[in-house]
Amino acid sequence: MNRQVIYIGIIAVIFSSCINPFAPSFDDSPDPGRDILGDQTTIDGAFTNFKLSYTTQDTLLYGQLLAPDFVFVYTDYDRGIDVSWGRDEDMRATYRMFRNANNIDLIWNEIIMQSGDSLKTMVRRSFNLTISFSADDIVRIGGYANMQFERSDPGNSWRITRWIDESDF
């Protein structure tokens, strides 16, 4: 009987120390989303967050990219004039686009030009944007985004203060 108790004890220890291969491990890292968001203290991180805001249709993330004095400029080719609006109107227009689109895919291509310093930088970058409103209504836009980024301190996040849309739309 003593021998039987020892075997049962050994078997119990063996089974209790086994790892269940079907149970997922716990992610005990402090921020599971840290690898998804870009570090907005870098220009590259700001572009990463811009793309993420479009592809996830997240106006909160998009709004964090825009400075309070943000200005968007585009050319109305039908009227032959440049049109501009501020941050509030841009947020409303972006919200409507996000709400009405089924899928948005933004691809940032090469940086054509970048100049500035640690507080103010101009970037001209090509892009391809596909907005699917339905299976039969897909809009494809390509061109260049000419953006001015600013921040008050080199450790702060970059914010877009001016975006000149040079798309082929």
- Write down the pLDDT at residue 63: 98
Q: What is the pLDDT of residues 139-162, one digit of tens each?
A: 999 999 999 999 999 999 999 999
- The pTM of this model reads 0.78
CATH fold of 5-167 reads Nuclear Transport Factor 2; Chain: A, (3.10.450)
pLDDT at 58: 97
Average pLDDT of the chain, as a whole number: 88
Give the pLDDT band (50/70/90) at residue 36. confident
What pLDDT, on the 0 to 100 scale, is given for residue 168? 80
pLDDT digit string (tens) for 8-29?
Answer: 656 655 555 555 555 555 555 5
Measure the CA–CA gap between 159 and 153, rounded to whole angstroms.
12
Sequence ranges of the domains in the chain: 5-167
- The pair of three-digit structure tokens given for residue 100, joined into one six-digit string: 């009405």
pLDDT digits (tens, 9 = 90+) for 38-76: 999 999 999 999 999 999 999 999 999 999 999 999 999
